[in-house]
Amino acid sequence: MTDTAIHIEIQITLNGDPRRVPIGWTIAQLVSEIGLDPKKVAVERNLEIIPRSTLAQVELRDGDVLEIVHFVGGG
């Protein structure tokens, strides 16, 4: 970890998989980068729900564990 990337990217876990994102990104930026409609998903960070209205304000931190869920068919 001596390259300069350490200064511009952080490491998070998204739905169980590791992912690197630019430093300073908000959750809303990540959601739109993935191509999701923020109105159709819910986000949990480190076991805490992040209200949809605040997604654009909440900055990602190194080591964050994120779960992004939506509704699928079920009984």
Q: Among 72, 11, 70, 74, which residue's Cα sits nearest to residue 35?
A: 70
Which helix (H) or strand (E) element contains residue 45?
strand 42-45
- Check: CB of residue 38 under 8 Å from CB of residue 10: no
Question: Which is nearer to other proteins, 3 or 71 (by Cβ)?
Answer: 71
Q: Which of 49, 56, 57, 63 binds other proteins (CB under 8 A)?
A: 49
Question: Which is nearer to other proteins, 2 or 73 (by Cβ)?
Answer: 73
Q: Does 51 sit near other proteins (CB under 8 A)? A: yes
Q: Which of 23, 28, 42, 58 binds other proteins (CB under 8 A)?
A: 42
